[in-house]
């Protein structure tokens, strides 16, 4: 998006006489925002979306306190002596959201136990929560929970407690500055502090927001370079990256700076360029992990990115954010949870035909916990099992927003009902749709009396010839990638019908693979699944392993530029569209099996997707693709049988230690020694004795006749050494071939190891490295010459 267009989105809008009563208008000197979040509970789910919330209430969210011991009565956040970190706060934030979005009395009563304990915990100095832990970070989550609860209930105790705590923060932070997770995730607190300022007008809150910004990670700089600075805490950690995207957005409300306004879009571009997966987001296992199909996305990152999107939609008003938001919600969120919402996977991968427990260190994740692909009520590190609960309810909560000019806006689609008061008039809008499984959305507008106000609809950028009609009359000005404003006097029963037709499209992925999208849905191979419980828990909350009961190693026979598939729809919309047997939409495509593409790493993972175009002597078959969220086992990044290789410029790698450099090794100055003092490095740590690779893809084919590698070696302080051996490959069409070198491939320390070879014209070089037994290796500098 151009800066000019963004400025138009961000210009102050004319104030209506009164915004929706369920929203709070911006208070000067904060910037006017195009949209305003509605109070929790203003939007109800309908249809399949309501059923999803019911499954969640009857599943892991409603029973988490029984299944996960840390959430029991001894929790420090319930007044006990137990867990006092982020676990309880994460859970209660999701529980409160679900309880009030679903209007569930049982969940509300369950949440109230936590709320009462938290409200009773405030000390005379303003501090809240367990005395055993004074960390700022978990209290950031608690304050977000309290703001949700206050919106839903108007409990008069909440605003005074939050105000007193914020005064405590402002007084204490100069001598107890933000550290670690709080430093990385300060954007959450800034947003909450400004939420409070809009309601109280207390000027000290703006001072607190400024202090939080000053003590936080330098996110604006990071999102442009993906390189952290001195003092930044785990800035490449995937969850931090997703939460950090609120930082500049919240600051923009207060500062009005051009740079803050642009960061969110810049971040999306740089993250996708270096770490993007073709399933709607970027990798993080747990740190950012490149584009390989053997990497995935942490569940915490999925739900935190959704929340950051929701904040950004309100403040920036960019409809493209809504498109991206739906792709995460309709694919990654259901894809990472089992279909009855009783288990989840810590990492969600584009290609995962197996979901089993493994020995730690078997899988190529920087953080391999041994159960990251296992479907479990507490898969992986114990954070996501507490945090995933807010995903669906917060999607519903922010599906509609108020507009600054006195109207309502459909921000993210699905079957919902929004109820507000505009001035003194109650207004409801019911959205009836099977979206995203259908292209048609029907809105019934029902004001208590005839009322003039603007209704804004987000027109998806992927839509082909979208149409909108009011009471049967088509309206003009419908443009993809923009908001359509319908300004009129509305009468009870007015009908708005929107149609967003979609065409099949491919998105390029690693090794020239392709993922097949239709609108907001990406499709995966239908794989029959054998399910085996491995650890039993009461109520069916077992840990279960999934293995394939049908072939999965297919290459699609489609044209990348104009993909064709047979689309079929179910005659009736099921309650649960994420069951693969009854999914409401399917694709049928031609494909061939690739017998050489199999399982690796103790049969716990699919090998890297083969390069496209792939060759196969197998017969052509018809295979079924279903929405990504309808499968636990899946292949989504497919090799193709047709076309030319697709190469993305830049550096790729088999594995990179989290926090290490990446592309900068291509531009580093020559180091003074292999210890690399002051030089960013890329290492394969903690892979020991393994075969690894680095791949350098150029913008266009070049003639190359030499290359040099400066190895990292920290003998005496670490376990990285020069490798046992290496060789250099070049890409010839779709095939990797070894260069014809005139000398050996050097492994000397403290100098560049240069190799000359017969000139080749290629678009990519690859270093294949064999590490010495028991140690790892790294690279400080890689150069090429002609």
The CA–CA distances, whole Å, from 118 to 128, 143, 190, 393, 680 equal: 7, 10, 21, 22, 45
List pLDDT tens digits, range 80-99: 999 999 999 999 999 999 99
Measured CA to CA, the distance from residue 236 to residue 221 in angstroms comes to 13
Segment 612-629 mean pLDDT = 96
Q: What is the mean pLDDT of the chain?
A: 95
Tokens of 642: 């047709």
Segment 731-749 mean pLDDT = 91
Q: Are 678 and 686 in contact (CB under 8 A)?
A: no
Measured CA to CA, the distance from residue 604 to residue 356 in angstroms comes to 7
| pLDDT surpasses 60 at 695 | yes
Q: What 3-state class would DSSP assign to 519?
A: coil
Which pLDDT does position 642 carry in this prediction?
Answer: 94
**What are the φ and ψ backbone dihedral angles of 306, each rounded to 5 degrees?**
-60, -45
Parallel/antiparallel/unpaired status of strands 408-410 and 451-459: parallel
Which pLDDT does position 436 carry in this prediction?
Answer: 98
| pLDDT surpasses 90 at 256 | yes
Q: Are 730 and 755 in contact (CB under 8 A)?
A: no
Which pLDDT does position 2 carry in this prediction?
Answer: 40
| pLDDT surpasses 70 at 625 | yes
**Where residue 7 falls among pLDDT bands split at 50, 70, 90?**
very low
Tokens of 624: 């079924």
Measured CA to CA, the distance from residue 33 to residue 315 in angstroms comes to 5
Q: What 3-state class would DSSP assign to 77?
A: helix
Q: Give the residue among 64, 92, 63 at the shortest CA–CA distance from 76.
A: 92
Using the 8-state DSSP alphabet, how is residue 337 labeled?
A: B
Which pLDDT does position 720 carry in this prediction?
Answer: 96
Q: Give the residue among 612, 611, 609 at the shortest CA–CA distance from 643.
A: 612
Which pLDDT does position 156 carry in this prediction?
Answer: 98
| pLDDT surpasses 90 at 733 | no
Which pLDDT does position 763 carry in this prediction?
Answer: 92
CA 330 from centroid of its chain's CA atoms? 12
List of residues 6+ apart from 4 with CB closer than 8 A: none
Indicate the range of 316-320, 562-566, 675-679 predicted with least confidence: 675-679
- CB-CB neighbours of 683 under 10 Å: 24
Report the alpha-carbon angle 199-202-208, nearest 5. 105
List pLDDT tens digits, range 332-362: 999 999 999 999 999 999 999 999 999 998 9
**In this prediction, what percent of the chain has a pLDDT beyond 90?**
91
Which pLDDT does position 753 carry in this prediction?
Answer: 97
Tokens of 116: 């009462």
**In this prediction, what percent of the chain has a pLDDT beyond 70?**
98
List pLDDT tens digits, range 186-219: 999 999 999 999 999 999 999 999 999 999 999 9
Q: Are 521 and 628 in contact (CB under 8 A)?
A: yes
Burial class of residue 175, CB neighbours in 10 A (0-12, 13-18, 19+):
exposed
Which pLDDT does position 786 carry in this prediction?
Answer: 85
Q: Which residues of 335-360 are buried (b: 16+ CB within 10 A; e: fewer)?
A: bbbbbbbbbbbbbbbbbbbbbbbbee
Which pLDDT does position 663 carry in this prediction?
Answer: 86
Which pLDDT does position 10 carry in this prediction?
Answer: 42
**Where residue 8 falls among pLDDT bands split at 50, 70, 90?**
very low
């Amino acid at each position: 998006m151009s800066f000019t267009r963004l400025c138009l989105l961000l210009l102050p809008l004319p104030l209506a006489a009164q915004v929706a009563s369920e929203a709070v208008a911006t208070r000067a000197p904060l910037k006017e925002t195009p949209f305003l979040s509605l109070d929790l509970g203003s939007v109800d789910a309908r249809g399949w979306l309501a059923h999803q919330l019911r499954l969640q209430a009857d599943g892991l969210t409603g029973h988490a306190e029984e299944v996960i011991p840390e959430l029991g009565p001894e929790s420090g956040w319930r007044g006990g002596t137990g867990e006092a970190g982020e676990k309880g706060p994460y859970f209660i934030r999701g529980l409160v959201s679900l309880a009030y979005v679903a209007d569930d009395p049982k969940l509300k009563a369950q949440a109230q136990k936590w709320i009462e304990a938290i409200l009773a915990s405030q000390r005379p100095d303003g501090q809240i929560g367990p005395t055993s832990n004074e960390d700022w970070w978990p209290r950031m989550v608690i304050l977000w929970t309290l703001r949700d609860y206050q919106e839903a209930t108007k409990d008069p105790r909440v605003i005074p407690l939050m105000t007193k705590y914020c005064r405590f923060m402002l007084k204490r932070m100069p001598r107890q500055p933000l550290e670690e997770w709080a430093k990385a995730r300060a954007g959450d607190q800034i947003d909450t502090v400004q939420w409070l300022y809009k309601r109280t007008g207390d000027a000290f809150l703006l001072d607190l927001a400024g202090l939080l910004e000053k003590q936080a990670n330098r996110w604006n700089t990071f999102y442009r370079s993906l390189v952290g600075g001195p003092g930044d805490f785990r800035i490449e950690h995937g969850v931090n990256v997703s939460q950090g995207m609120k930082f500049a957005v919240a600051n923009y409300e207060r500062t009005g700076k051009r740079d803050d306004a642009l960061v969110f879009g810049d971040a999306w571009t740089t993250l996708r360029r270096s770490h993007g997966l073709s399933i709607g987001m970027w990798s993080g296992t747990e740190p950012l992990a490149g584009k390989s199909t053997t990497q995935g996305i942490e569940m915490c990152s999925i739900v935190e990115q959704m929340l950051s999107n929701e904040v950004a939609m309100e403040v920036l008003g960019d409809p493209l954010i809504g498109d991206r938001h739906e792709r995460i919600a309709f694919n990654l969120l259901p894809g990472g949870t089992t279909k009855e919402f009783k288990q989840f996977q810590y990492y969600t991968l584009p290609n995962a035909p197996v979901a089993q427990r493994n020995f730690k260190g078997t899988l190529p994740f920087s953080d391999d916990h041994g159960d990251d692909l296992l479907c479990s009520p507490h898969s992986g590190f114990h954070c996501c099992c507490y945090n995933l609960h807010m995903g669906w309810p917060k999607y519903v909560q922010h599906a509609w927003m108020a507009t600054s000019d006195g109207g309502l806006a459909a921000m993210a689609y699905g079957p919902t009902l929004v109820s507000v008061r505009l001035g003194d008039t109650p207004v409801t809008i019911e959205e009836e749709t099977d979206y995203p499984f259908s292209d048609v959305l029907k809105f019934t507008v029902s004001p208590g009396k005839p009322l003039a106000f603007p209704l804004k609809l987000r027109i998806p950028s992927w839509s082909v010839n979208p149409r909108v009609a009011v009471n049967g009359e088509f309206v003009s000005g419908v443009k993809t990638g923009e908001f359509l404003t319908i300004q009129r006097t509305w009468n009870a029963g007015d009908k708005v019908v929107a149609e967003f037709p979609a065409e099949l499209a491919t998105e390029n992925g690693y090794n020239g693979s392709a993922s097949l999208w239709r609108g907001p849905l990406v499709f995966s191979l239908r794989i029959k699944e054998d399910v085996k419980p491995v650890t039993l828990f009461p109520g069916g909350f077992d840990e279960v392993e999934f293995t394939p009961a049908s072939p999965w190693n297919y290459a699609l026979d489609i044209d990348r530029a104009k993909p064709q598939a047979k689309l079929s729809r179910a005659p009736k919309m099921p309650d649960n569209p994420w069951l693969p047997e009854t999914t409401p939409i399917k694709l049928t495509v031609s494909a061939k099996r690739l017998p050489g593409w199999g399982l690796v790493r103790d049969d716990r993972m699919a090998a890297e997707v083969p390069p496209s175009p792939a060759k196969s002597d197998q017969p052509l078959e018809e295979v079924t693709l279903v929405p990504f969220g309808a499968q636990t086992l899946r292949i989504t990044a497919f090799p193709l049988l047709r076309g030319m290789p697709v190469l993305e410029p830049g550096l790729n790698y088999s594995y990179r230690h989290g926090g290490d450099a990446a592309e900068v090794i291509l531009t580093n100055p020559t180091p003074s020694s292999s210890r690399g003092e002051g030089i960013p490095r890329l290492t394969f740590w903690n892979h020991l004795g393994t075969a690894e690779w680095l791949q350098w893809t150029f913008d266009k084919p070049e003639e190359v006749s030499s290359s040099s590698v400066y190895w990292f070696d920290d003998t005496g302080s670490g376990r990285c050494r020069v490798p046992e051996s290496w060789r250099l490959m070049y890409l010839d069409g779709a095939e990797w071939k070894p260069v014809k070198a005139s000398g050996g491939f050097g492994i000397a320390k403290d100098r560049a190891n240069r190799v000359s070879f017969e000139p080749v014209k290629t678009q990519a070089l690859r270093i294949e490295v064999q590490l010495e037994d028991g140690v790892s290796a790294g690279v400080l500098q890689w150069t090429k010459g002609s």
